Structure 1
Amino acid sequence: MSLGDTIELSLIKQMELLAAQRQGVVSLAQGIPSFDTPESIKKRAMEAINDGRAAAYSLTSGLSDLREEIEEDLERGGMFYDFEKEIIVTAGSIEAISATLLAVLESNDEVLLPSPTYASYIQAIRVARGVPVFVPLDESRGWLLDPDNFQKRLTAKTRAILLCNPNNPTGSVFASRDLVKIGELAKEHNLIIISDEVYKDFIFDATIKENYFTLASLPAFRKQVVRIFSFSKAYAMTGWRIGYLHTDRDLAQRILKIHDSLVTCAPVVSQYAAMAALRLKPDDLQVYMDEYKIRRQILCDGLDKLSDYLSYIPPLATYFVFPKINTKMTANYAGSLVLAKELLERANLAVVPGIAFGPAGEDHLRLSFGRTRYDIEEGIKRLQLFFKNT
């Protein structure tokens, strides 16, 4: 069978497609910020369009000016990468991840995936002829990594580890000591670590944010780590499809060949927009974070009133809550997918079933507070009415 016959559309997209067929649906499903892209970013993009600078391809690795600005931004975070050979501008994070997987995997190579993890990773591994191997996160410790669990799942076919930190869907932030142990494991066994850090700007606790750690900052792991970032979330640019990766030059040049074959280059108008995004000051983005904190509280307050049905760990980061379906509800529903479809059918509320994020996600739902306050408040009302009548 062809690849198109063997992989599936992610359950996130499946739920959104089902919701699009109905009238009056409130969606807390897909992770799309409700905010518009900042005006300064749109202005820079329009200038590039009007001047004719966005009409032609860029270099496959991206505009030199953008890569230089990314290099400078990385230096401010204690990471030192050459814009000429070690930074590639990509069409969002998932293209960067896919290009990396295609560059490093051979047929039936295994990729260790913390579970729960972002749904699209699973299919991206399969597209690259790989095999996802799920490593459960420790829910009792706030969904943290247990490096020993990774060690136990190593085989002769293990080739890579794919991390989402901060984690989607759980909202956890992995501890630096655990990440270093994962890095040491990767170095010992010659594994690649793909670190997707799209939610690094969505950490709510000031101390945790200040001490946020990435393996890409340690020279000892330079040859092991491919770090990936997208402008989609922090800058409300999901439709612009723009991100980047950076890694050691030898691996970067292998990935570049795959990136070229997939997209030629990232959208040039979006590259100019990304330059404007990098020039924003932290205070320019703080207004978003302040609002997300309020929305997180609204959703958590609502879930507190549903404690007979759902329990949750407050998220430290991202704009998702990942409540567990309590035992009295799991007895009524044969899994999170059945419950999610019932919520859509009976309450006109779209959520993502936990099974979308791997086996450890089962018996959970993912709810987004990236949507408007109205959506969140109305979503809670619909959850309350649904459970009251169940």
Structure 2
Amino acid sequence: METLARPAPAAAERMAGRLSRRIREVPPSGIRRFFEIAATMDDVISLGIGEPDFVSPQPIIDAAKTALDAGRTSYTANLGLAELREAISGEMARLYGLDYHAEDEVIVTVGASEAMTIAMLSLLDPGDEVLIPEPCFVSYGPLAEFAGGVVRWVPTRAENDFQVTAEDIRSRITDKTKLLFLGYPNNPTGAVLRRDVLEEIAEVVVEHDLLVLSDEIYDRLVYGEAHEDGHVSVPTLPGLFERTILIGGFSKGYAMTGWRIGYACAPQPILYQMYKAHQYVIMSAPTVSQVGALAGIRDAQPAVEDMRRAYDDRRRVIVDGLRAAGFPTFEPEGAFYAFPDITSTGLSSEDFAQRLLQEEHVAAVPGSAFGPSGEGYLRCSYATAIDQIEEAIHRITAFADRVRNE
């Protein structure tokens, strides 16, 4: 068959101008660009992608293989496998004392990302304002805007351990504010919210009758005093259960990023609306991934703890190394990121990350990708082997010394 001639590029550009303004005005992810460049280079050490370097625990893989061999390749129920929803409900009760009904208050999604997307679609009408503490994960703002929401950033600061406070939130509430979006343990800072801070935030939320979306994907990855005290799940706070959508998943704690499996928990009247969006957008999460996630909850808890301990060891190495290189670094208590202050070099976050990649072959993410308060910082993932972290620190130190002497 003869190949059709392509129209002139200008024709496609003209059509692109007719696309949704909403999507055209959202910038591409500030994370991925650096790794597209890094993929073309040799000898790159990546401290960038927020992905465990561990293989998924063996019980998860074995369960998935068995399911495939048994021909389990059909759709599941829209909400997800009943057994998996029951297991998630049981985990929420065991870990946090939360009482979610498996039959109509838990939904299995294609990663936490889908859960956040259908939550935004269900919560927001055009013009509704969303308060989002930042620095934060890059998708929060765009997802709110895709749903017609208006983002109001709430800055956080290193001197306050990157915790958002009740007063920070209160000062930005208007008569259009509908939703508070919390993401703790935090990507990119590694911050956690202490119970006393959350209790004060809960009072503000109830006073102003706000809804809450809480991304707790890193709940199993906390360290130090935060681990001793235990992760505080947002819907456990007084007055918040009935107004909160809890987002979770298996990508981080269970090293299942490529399986694309997450979940949301919420009271039935809220979850029902999310269920409708999920039906039309996705239908159901991948069956084999659901089987793997179920095996993870049932049989991989020792592996989850082993990985957490390994991250804790790496955390100490990277934080100590960055500080020794002359970069003040907040003590991360959750997730697997360090967030050093690189302002002593005189470079912007973007320039620092760009030159570090080009000159030393170390890939990291400029803090500015995560919101205005991230400028002057660099996100460094410690979800990689200790020897790689140590070599990256050596290269970062050499780069910093050179830049400071320019």
**TM band (smaller chain):** over 0.9
1:369 aligned residue (382, 386, 393): 382
Q: Is the 8 A contact 2:328 2:341 kept in 1?
A: yes
Secondary structure of the residue that 2:31 maps to in structure 1? helix
Offset, 1:206? 5.4
- Asked whether 1:359 is paired with 2:378, we answer no
2:342 aligned residue (325, 329, 344): 325
1:123 aligned residue (142, 157, 166): 142
Offset, 1:282? 4.0
1:114 alignment partner in structure 2: 133
- Asked whether 1:221 is paired with 2:234, we answer no
CA deviations on 1:325-380 (whole Å, 9 max, x unpaired) are 134x12xx2x2112111111111111010011111111000001001223212211
Structure-2 separation of matches of 1:114 and 1:209: 25
Structure-1 separation of matches of 2:266 and 2:34: 35
Larger Rg computed on CA atoms: 2
2:192 aligned residue (150, 173, 182): 173
Letter paired with 2:92? L
Structure-2 separation of matches of 1:210 and 1:389: 42
1:39 alignment partner in structure 2: 58
Q: How does 1:242-321 map to 2 (within 5 A)?
A: 242-280=261-299, 282-307=301-326, 310-321=327-338
Of stretches 152-161 and 231-240 in structure 1, the one that deviates more from structure 2 is 152-161
User: Residues 320, 42 of structure 1: CA spacing in aligned structure 2 closer, same or farther, 3 A cutoff?
Assistant: same
- Say what the alpha-carbon RMSD is for the aligned residues: 1.6
Secondary structure of the residue that 2:247 maps to in structure 1? strand
**Normalized against structure 1, the TM-score is what?**
0.94
Letter paired with 1:316? E
Secondary structure of the residue that 1:226 maps to in structure 2? strand
Letter paired with 2:342? I
1:74 aligned residue (73, 78, 92): 92
Offset, 1:219? 6.3
Offset, 1:261? 2.0
- Asked whether 1:95 is paired with 2:108, we answer no
Structure-1 separation of matches of 2:170 and 2:34: 35
Secondary structure of the residue that 1:257 maps to in structure 2? helix
Structure-2 separation of matches of 1:215 and 1:32: 24
**Normalized against structure 2, the TM-score is what?**
0.91
1:62 alignment partner in structure 2: 80
Structure-2 separation of matches of 1:84 and 1:164: 26
Q: Is the 8 A contact 2:157 2:373 kept in 1?
A: no
Percent of aligned positions that are identical: 34
Structure-1 separation of matches of 2:66 and 2:388: 34
Structure-2 separation of matches of 1:218 and 1:323: 31
1:84 aligned residue (97, 103, 117): 103
User: Residues 94, 169 of structure 1: CA spacing in aligned structure 2 closer, same or farther, 3 A cutoff?
Assistant: same
Structure-1 separation of matches of 2:76 and 2:61: 19
User: Residues 264, 219 of structure 1: CA spacing in aligned structure 2 closer, same or farther, 3 A cutoff?
Assistant: farther
User: Residues 207, 341 of structure 1: CA spacing in aligned structure 2 closer, same or farther, 3 A cutoff?
Assistant: closer
2:361 alignment partner in structure 1: 348
Offset, 1:209? 4.1
Letter paired with 2:88? I
Q: How does 1:153-172 map to 2 (within 5 A)?
A: 153-172=172-191
Q: Is the 8 A contact 2:226 2:333 kept in 1?
A: no
Q: Is the 8 A contact 2:202 2:238 kept in 1?
A: no
User: Residues 301, 221 of structure 1: CA spacing in aligned structure 2 closer, same or farther, 3 A cutoff?
Assistant: closer
Structure-2 separation of matches of 1:298 and 1:59: 45
CA deviations on 1:118-147 (whole Å, 9 max, x unpaired) are 111122112112122111123212112211
Of stretches 208-217 and 34-43 in structure 1, the one that deviates more from structure 2 is 208-217
2:3 alignment partner in structure 1: none
Structure-2 separation of matches of 1:206 and 1:146: 19
1:4 aligned residue (6, 12, 23): 23
2:214 aligned residue (195, 204, 212): 195
Offset, 1:257? 1.0
Secondary structure of the residue that 1:324 maps to in structure 2? coil
Secondary structure of the residue that 2:132 maps to in structure 1? strand
User: Residues 138, 282 of structure 1: CA spacing in aligned structure 2 closer, same or farther, 3 A cutoff?
Assistant: same
1:387 alignment partner in structure 2: 400
Secondary structure of the residue that 1:311 maps to in structure 2? coil
